[in-house]
């Protein structure tokens, strides 16, 4: 005789067992590749100079229920980047090239789309750009603890340059991109003078580069 057990019951029992065994079982990954991801964790990467720090944003995108918690591993080349800190997420160093980030606990309300955290690295003096920051083992759960199908998208850290659009030549397009970052329309990824903010000073640096062809940090 065969008995049909609802998959929802199986997931619920499995999740409850994990939650009883470990405080880390706030999030669970649904491994089936046939289930489309409704939660995406990603990074746009960042830009910096050898020996300096770079901060990369962790982004949340949704196509359904908002998670109340999540966990993700950042994999990177330890010869190129050294992990410094994360905010406001909890961080644990798994190895020299693997850092695990997570929310502090299950939230009572769902997280909003957009930037949900930042990870800061020190760039190697022998930096060979670009270097990839891979997001792996992405997991999330809704505020009640129900697991959500979660995907990951990688980013890269590149050399800081006044050609912020990536075409190699500072131009009006780069000036507009910097204005958008200074106004908050786009993420502030290019802090040209390393003062901790993207503002009119950074815009002026790119304007100078567009006029003279020389990028003076």
Name the CA radius of gyration of the chain, rounded.
20
Q: Tens digits of per-residue pLDDT, 95-119? A: 999 999 999 766 678 999 999 999 9
Contact in structure between 63 and 71 (CB atoms under 8 Å):
no
SS3 at position 14: helix
φ/ψ (deg, to 5) at 12 = -65, -45
pLDDT band at 35 (very low <50, low <70, confident <90, very high): low
For the segment 51-67, the average pLDDT, to the nearest whole number, is 94
Whether the per-residue pLDDT at 216 is higher than 60: the answer is yes
Give pLDDT tens digits for 188-204. 999 999 998 999 999 99
pLDDT at 156 exceeding the cut of 60: yes
- Asked if residue 10 has pLDDT above 70, the reply is no
Mean of pLDDT values over 59-86: 96
- Which of 44, 53, 202 lies closest to 127, judged by CA? 53
Q: How far apart are the first and last CA of the chain?
A: 75
174 neighbors 206 (Cβ within 8 angstroms): yes
Pseudo-torsion of CA 194, 195, 199, 202, nearest 10°? -40
% of the chain beyond a pLDDT of 90: 74
For the cut 60, the answer to whether the pLDDT of residue 157 exceeds it is yes
């Amino acid at each position: 005789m065969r008995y049909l057990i609802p998959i929802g019951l199986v997931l619920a029992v499995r999740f409850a067992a994990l939650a009883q065994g470990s405080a880390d079982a706030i999030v669970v990954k649904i491994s089936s590749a046939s289930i489309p991801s409704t939660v995406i964790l990603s990074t746009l990467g960042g830009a910096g100079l050898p020996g300096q720090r770079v901060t990369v944003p962790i982004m949340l995108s949704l196509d359904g229920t908002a998670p109340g918690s999540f966990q993700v591993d950042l994999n990177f080349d330890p010869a190129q980047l050294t992990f410094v800190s994360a905010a406001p997420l909890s961080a644990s160093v798994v190895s020299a090239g693997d850092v695990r980030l997570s929310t502090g606990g299950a939230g009572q309300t769902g997280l909003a789309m957009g930037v949900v955290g930042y990870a800061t690295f020190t760039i190697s003096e022998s930096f060979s750009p670009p270097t990839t920051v891979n997001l792996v083992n992405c997991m999330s759960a809704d505020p009640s603890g129900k697991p959500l199908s979660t995907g990951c998208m990688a980013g890269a850290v590149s050399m800081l340059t006044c050609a912020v659009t990536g075409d190699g030549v500072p131009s009006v397009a780069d000036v507009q991109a910097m204005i958008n970052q200074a106004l908050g329309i786009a993420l502030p990824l290019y802090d040209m003078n390393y003062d901790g903010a993207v503002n009119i000073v950074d815009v002026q640096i790119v304007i100078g580069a567009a006029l003279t062809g020389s990028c003076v940090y």
